[in-house]
Amino acid sequence: MELKPIKLLSSGCYLPKVISSEEIDRKYNLAAGYSEKFSGVKFRHHATHESIGWMGARAFEEALEKSGLELADIDLLISAGGTYDYPLPNQASIIKKELKNGQNHTFGCIDIDCTCLSFVSAFDIASKFLDGKQYKNIAIISSEISSKGLNPLNKETISLFGDAAVAIIVAFDSTLQHGIIKGSITTYAEGAELTIIKGGGNKFFFKDYPYDAYLHSFQMDGIKLLRLAKKKIPIFISDFFSNTPLKFGEVSWVLPHQASKSGLEIFYNLFPEIKQKSLNNLINRGNCIAASIPLLLHENIENGTIKRGDILFLTGTSAGFSIGGCLLKY
Amino acid sequence: MELKPIKLLSSGCYLPKVISSEEIDRKYNLAAGYSEKFSGVKFRHHATHESIGWMGARAFEEALEKSGLELADIDLLISAGGTYDYPLPNQASIIKKELKNGQNHTFGCIDIDCTCLSFVSAFDIASKFLDGKQYKNIAIISSEISSKGLNPLNKETISLFGDAAVAIIVAFDSTLQHGIIKGSITTYAEGAELTIIKGGGNKFFFKDYPYDAYLHSFQMDGIKLLRLAKKKIPIFISDFFSNTPLKFGEVSWVLPHQASKSGLEIFYNLFPEIKQKSLNNLINRGNCIAASIPLLLHENIENGTIKRGDILFLTGTSAGFSIGGCLLKY
């Protein structure tokens, strides 16, 4: 089996303050039990004093320590996420600035944004950089704070999203034992505006459109989105596995983006055979945007569920509307 | 000479309304001649009704027509820029939505953001995707509108920046005659906040920080930035060419980011031997963020200055603070 060499060396994470669904119910005057029942999320984390860059740097430092590498060994930092501290510069540079010794090293800082699929794409791209020469070790960091951008009037999203930062350090694998079997992303333009934050970019510029909870918050046309997902996911999965040396059923673990309870249910209903193999953390973490999939990776490597040699399938949907997947040997 | 195969097939661009420096002087009550004298920019373009996605789609359609390819031949769309229509989804998905037949094709949409160096990084990354199998043709689009985010009280930036969209279509080159000799990016964390838009992200969130011309505009600590650039550019160039089969002097054309008059002067003063080989368009286009370098490419391919077989060196600085370069055979 031909592998594009990439080895996950280590991971680290930073989770801010835990918030229970009871607290959400009380804070937003919802009926007791409403938030958990609606979202399927018991606990999630919300940043208080933390910034995206700061959380990312802490996750990175944990991963770096576990890897046994020094900061001098890192050849590239990829920030893979949909949220940012500043509109400019890119988030990767801000994470680097927040590192204890970031100023002493010159590795480049690149952002890759496919919203919730940013980590999946960044992992694939990292494997393309890794050549064992110019690029030996790469840090991929998904640090996301969505809690500030949620509309308190939207009961669906206020309970669904959580904040988290995860860092994964990957290396060129000269043994050719660990790597990517296939990576792919498809984008369906008809869904481009079904999940959107309208205000705050060039189209609805701050100057002309003052803050409005609706305009500047995450909006989702849930019904149309689920309909599109239901139609396109089976096509994506079938196309993806049509030319791989492994069948979908041979995957050890599926790590689906923790989009929502109904998003995960669509996936399980379409492919009931993989429900037992699907890792999830929606109940304790919520939807952490691009950090959801690497958080599943981190937690299940740490607790021993994912073992060396396992075949992992990272997959999910993202705003855009995209469906992506990365099949790899851990 | 070993090349990472990538061939520039075609390019297209969209430029919105032209604005003269006289108009800027009049609009902002500046002394006659001030804008041009200060910035070195006679003309630049400012979007009126256009969005970033719309401009990008028009540039893409022009490039596609020239390439002789169909939209069905495109395997990936990379949006490479620092500005965006919406905070979410990513800009590439919005460009796809603005294409005439975007809905009929499923190629993936990825954003790469290294601010002004986004195109240089995206070009390098595109070459890593191109394998002649899964990825045969990729569209890289740098569409930037900065004019809305400029502080009218800041005379330096109000005259410097211009809006533009450029699309470059690249293909896997099975002849091995066209490709990248080397690509590299280095980031200096001490300069992370020397060029910044502070407001509008997670740190200074709209809700808590209403629009303020200073907070929500591009800010630049010009003196510190030029000092850092002067110190680091020679190190970058020397490191870059220390292990390439060609010397800096053997480059046919240097395409430097059109950062500013003083930014270009630093570069020419450090390396006087390449002044005659440097292409520029600052005087007619201003600093178009990530679109500056591909616009130089597009214009100089169109006018016949850049010829097949030429060795090009795309280079520049970007917010972050990064210095990057890409050496290629056209």
Chain-chain contact of B319 with A94 (C-beta, under 8 angstroms): no
- The pLDDT-based confidence of A148 (bands split at 50, 70, 90) is confident
- The pLDDT-based confidence of A231 (bands split at 50, 70, 90) is very high
- CATH number for the region B4-174 comes to 3.40.47.10
Chain-chain contact of B106 with A321 (C-beta, under 8 angstroms): no
Could you tell me how many CB contacts below 8 A there are between chain A and chain B?
Answer: 229
**Can you name the CATH fold of A4-175?**
Peroxisomal Thiolase; Chain A, domain 1 (3.40.47)
Q: In sequence order, which residues have a C-beta less than 8 Å from that of residue B129 and are 6 or more positions away?
A: A128, B75, B76, B135, B138
Asked if residue B135 lies in contact with residue B182, where contact means CB atoms within 8 angstroms, the answer is no
Share of chain A above pLDDT 70, in %: 100
Which of B187, B193, B211 faces A206 most closely, judged by CB atoms?
B211
Of A92-101, B144-153, B312-321, the one with minimum mean pLDDT is B144-153
Give me the mean pLDDT over the B110-127 stretch. 98
Mean of all residue pLDDT scores within chain B = 95
- In this predicted structure, the answer to whether residue B136 has a pLDDT above a threshold of 90 is yes
| Cβ-based contacts of A149 with chain B (< 8 Å) | 87, 202, 205
Measure the CA–CA gap between B193 and A314, rounded to whole angstroms. Answer: 35
- The pLDDT-based confidence of B125 (bands split at 50, 70, 90) is very high
Model pLDDT for residues A39-91, shown as the tens digit of each residue? 999 999 999 999 999 999 999 999 999 999 999 999 999 999 999 999 999 99
Quick check: B111 contacting A, CB < 8 Å? Answer: yes
For chain A, where do the domains classified as CATH 3.40.47.10 start and end? Answer: 4-175, 180-329
- In this predicted structure, the answer to whether residue B155 has a pLDDT above a threshold of 90 is no
Chain-chain contact of A148 with B202 (C-beta, under 8 angstroms): yes
- The number of beta carbons lying within 10 Å of the beta carbon of residue A220 is 18
Min Cα distance B307 → chain A (Å) is 29
Min Cα distance A44 → chain B (Å) is 18
Measure the CA–CA gap between B309 and B287, rounded to whole angstroms. Answer: 28
**CA A147 from centroid of its chain's CA atoms:** 15
The number of C-alpha atoms within 13 Å of B54 and in the hemisphere containing its C-beta is: 11
pLDDT at A154: 83
Chain-chain contact of A85 with B187 (C-beta, under 8 angstroms): no
**CA A62 from centroid of its chain's CA atoms:** 18
Chain-chain contact of B111 with A113 (C-beta, under 8 angstroms): yes
Measure the CA–CA gap between A316 and A36, rounded to whole angstroms. Answer: 22
For chain B, where do the domains classified as CATH 3.40.47.10 start and end? Answer: 4-174, 180-329
Strand ranges across the sheet with A253-256: A4-5, A179-187, A322-329, A311-318, A253-256
CA distances from B2 to A204, A264, A309, B244, B326 (A): 47, 46, 34, 10, 14
* Residue of chain B whose alpha carbon sits nearest to that of A49: B203
- In this predicted structure, the answer to whether residue A149 has a pLDDT above a threshold of 90 is no
Model pLDDT for residues B221-257, shown as the tens digit of each residue? 989 999 999 999 999 999 999 999 999 989 999 999 9
Quick check: A60 contacting B, CB < 8 Å? Answer: no
Q: Which of 3.40.47.10, 2.60.40.420, 3.90.1150.10, 3.40.1190.20 would CATH assign to domain B180-329?
A: 3.40.47.10
| Cβ-based contacts of B187 with chain A (< 8 Å) | 77, 92-93, 96, 106-109
**CA A278 from centroid of its chain's CA atoms:** 16
Measure the CA–CA gap between B17 and B48, rounded to whole angstroms. Answer: 7
Model pLDDT for residues B44-55, shown as the tens digit of each residue? 999 999 999 999
Give me the mean pLDDT over the A197-208 stretch. 93
| Cβ-based contacts of B324 with chain A (< 8 Å) | 108
Measure the CA–CA gap between A69 and A323, rounded to whole angstroms. Answer: 34
- The pLDDT-based confidence of B17 (bands split at 50, 70, 90) is very high
Measure the CA–CA gap between A87 and A196, rounded to whole angstroms. Answer: 17
Min Cα distance B305 → chain A (Å) is 31
Quick check: A113 contacting B, CB < 8 Å? Answer: yes
Chain-chain contact of B92 with A128 (C-beta, under 8 angstroms): no
DSSP character string of B40-96: --SEEEE-SS--HHHHHHHHHHHHHHHHT--GGG--EEEEE-S--SSSBS-HHHHHH
- The pLDDT-based confidence of A155 (bands split at 50, 70, 90) is confident
- The pLDDT-based confidence of A167 (bands split at 50, 70, 90) is very high
Bridge partners of B18, per DSSP, are: B45
Mapping DSSP to helix (H, G, I), strand (E, B) and coil, where does residue A13 land? strand
Q: In sequence order, which residues have a C-beta less than 8 Å from that of residue A181 and are 6 or more positions away?
A: A1, A2, A3, A244, A245, A246, A311, A327, A328, A329
Model pLDDT for residues A258-306, shown as the tens digit of each residue? 999 988 998 899 998 888 899 999 999 999 999 999 999 999 999 999 9
pLDDT at A275: 86
**To probe the interface with B, which of A4, A98, A110 has the most B CB atoms within 10 Å?**
A110
Of A137-141, B21-25, B82-86, B272-276, the one with minimum mean pLDDT is B272-276
In A114-143, the residues whose Cβ lies within 8 Å of chain B are 114-115, 121, 125, 128-129, 134
Asked if residue B232 lies in contact with residue B188, where contact means CB atoms within 8 angstroms, the answer is yes
pLDDT at A151: 84
- In this predicted structure, the answer to whether residue B274 has a pLDDT above a threshold of 90 is no
* Residue of chain A whose alpha carbon sits nearest to that of B75: A186
Quick check: A52 contacting B, CB < 8 Å? Answer: yes
Chain-chain contact of B103 with A189 (C-beta, under 8 angstroms): yes
Bridge partners of A44, per DSSP, are: A19
Max Cα–Cα distance, chain B, nearest Å: 58
